[in-house]
Structure 1
């Protein structure tokens, strides 16, 4: 058994998602487990160079997690032929520029979504990568959540019969920053900085819906800015110019109706921050981030509407948990391992920049639907 090292430029890892999910729980975790096992028995060891604008943050991260390389000079990192992969988890408005530079330098691309601020720019990036012959992938982490993997298991087993409808509830209360510090960055609430929950979450809903339930054919969306004023990281008051809630309806192939509510201004009274209820002719299921519960047709209770008496049903107790039956690793880490094998062994990896562009397309259509107050078709994307 031999070790192979692969250089990865990690741009934007000083942000919350870049630090926690991509650096600590993915790349550092892969290094600590001894690398990724390859088909020939070798171990592939990620060797990242942390890149960003704040040298103090980069140096501190590198020291804390035993990373040897860091730099504020992206150009120099791009020139180094040892670095085969460029990863980008910057804010959305900066991402396209970094990806273009990396494609020009011949680097393979792996990035967060949204891949760009418009579907036209997202498609341009996909075409540039294809024409340059560089491999590329987009983070689609929710497909690897334990709850959604259990839901996929049910779908593949035919548990639901004919799927009729899907209801997705996502969100939580993000503090305004006055009496409690906000738990999301302030740029999320400024349209001019690439913020907004439609831009953020519709990219997720696109790949979740497409991969689990089928292609989206039409969309209707109503957005809202429920909280108009917040306090930023410097303690300064600012006006919220981006949407913090979105109420979407999607029609899929076969007539499946999906309702997806997303909000950073909602208090949680459900099993998890994200719940997905699927109702079918033979049974129903509710999936969260890690758990999934079912109710089969033969176990469905028969409630009768009668507000004059106390409710005789304990509805929550009438559902059955889907067992784990396997080990579930961190979803970001799992997809990183698949992408690394894609680069080194040419293993299949279907979540490319074109798939990322589909997410941006749905975000654009959601914003347009809100503005024009009408249903819109979702055309097929090609490059």
Structure 2
């Protein structure tokens, strides 16, 4: 048994998700446990170098978490052959150029989503990585959440029977900054900075749909800007030029219908900020981020419709919790581990740049559907 060092250039991890999920809960957590165990008994030990523009932030972050290396010189980091993998979680708009620089420098790449503002840019990155023989992946953390893992187990066990429909409900109320500070960054609401609910979140929905329910073949979508005027982090007013609500209906290859209701102007009255409801001929389930409840055909009640009296049945009590039968780690960490296994021992990779391009295919189809007010077909997307 041996320990193999893996140098990772971590760009743009001074933000909340970059620090907490990618650096602390994933890369450093793996390193603190002595590395990632591989099939041959070896261990892959991540050794990150933090890269960004602000030396004070980088130094403070490195000092707080015991990271030995940091730099503001991205060119120097890319030129070092001892660091094999480039990771980016900075702004979407700058990601394609950064990824191309990393590929040209001979690095493998692992990127936050969306990997680019457009499908064409993602396909160009894919072609460049393949031409250089570089491995590539996009973060797909949501598939490793406990609630979604339970959904996948139910599907694999045949619990649902023939799939009838799926509904994704997502969002919460994001304050406009007038009286209460907003809890999302202002760049989310500016097109020039890669903002917009569809570009931000629908790449997630695409890999969730592909991974749990099968390929979507067509979509119709309506977009809205519910709060067109907001205040930024400095309290300055600005105009929102992207959508903050989206409602989409997808046809799935399996014949089921899938509905997405996503909004940053939504006062939540449901089990979680994200819920996925699955209806099948033999059973149904509702999953949040962590919990999942199910109702089989054999335990399905027969409600009566009577507008003259309140509902007597406790409809929530008729669903049974799906137990925690699989021990799971942090979802971002599990996504990292899956990609690192692909990198180190050619493990399966369902998170490639082709998967990322499929997410952007859905984004562009939603925008086209809204603009043209019609259904948009989504053909099979291949690397060729």
TM-score by length of structure 2 reads 0.98
Q: Which residue of 2 aligns with 1:122?
A: 122
Q: Which residue of 1 aligns with 2:159?
A: 159
Ranges of 4+ aligned residues in structure 1 off by more than 6 Å: none
Q: Which residue of 1 aligns with 2:103?
A: 103
| 1:24 and 2:27 aligned | no
Instruction: Give the distance between the partners of 1:50 and 1:245, measured in 2 at CA.
Output: 35
Cα deviation, residue 152, structure 1 = 0.6
Instruction: Note if contact 2:36-2:43 (Cα within 8 Å) is conserved in structure 1.
Output: yes
What does 1:254-265 correspond to in 2, within 5 Å?
Answer: 254-265=254-265
What does 1:33-182 correspond to in 2, within 5 Å?
Answer: 33-182=33-182
Secondary structure class of the residue paired with 2:117: coil
Give CA deviations for 1:255-279 in whole Å, capped at 9, x if unaligned.
2000011111101111111100000
Tell me whether 170-179 or 279-288 shows the greater mean CA deviation: 170-179
Instruction: Name structure 1 gaps, 5 residues minimum.
Output: none
Q: Which residue of 1 aligns with 2:351?
A: 351
Give CA deviations for 1:153-207 in whole Å, capped at 9, x if unaligned.
0111111111100011011111212222222111000112110001111101111
Tell me whether 347-356 or 163-172 shows the greater mean CA deviation: 347-356
Instruction: Note if contact 2:163-2:254 (Cα within 8 Å) is conserved in structure 1.
Output: no
Cα deviation, residue 4, structure 1 = 2.1
Cα deviation, residue 351, structure 1 = 1.1
Instruction: Note if contact 2:220-2:374 (Cα within 8 Å) is conserved in structure 1.
Output: yes
Q: Which residue of 1 aligns with 2:3?
A: 3
Q: Which residue of 2 aligns with 1:328?
A: 328
Cα deviation, residue 142, structure 1 = 1.0
TM-score by length of structure 1 reads 0.98
Cα deviation, residue 355, structure 1 = 0.6
Instruction: Give the distance between the partners of 2:339 and 2:255, measured in 1 at CA.
Output: 34
Instruction: Give the distance between the partners of 2:204 and 2:162, measured in 1 at CA.
Output: 24
Cα deviation, residue 237, structure 1 = 1.2
Instruction: Give the distance between the partners of 1:127 and 1:155, measured in 2 at CA.
Output: 34
Instruction: Name structure 2 gaps, 5 residues minimum.
Output: none
Q: Which residue of 2 aligns with 1:285?
A: 285
Give CA deviations for 1:327-381 in whole Å, capped at 9, x if unaligned.
1111110111121122122222221001100001110111111111110000121
| 1:341 and 2:323 aligned | no
Q: Which residue of 2 aligns with 1:294?
A: 294
Instruction: Give the distance between the partners of 1:338 and 1:212, measured in 2 at CA.
Output: 17
Cα deviation, residue 238, structure 1 = 1.0
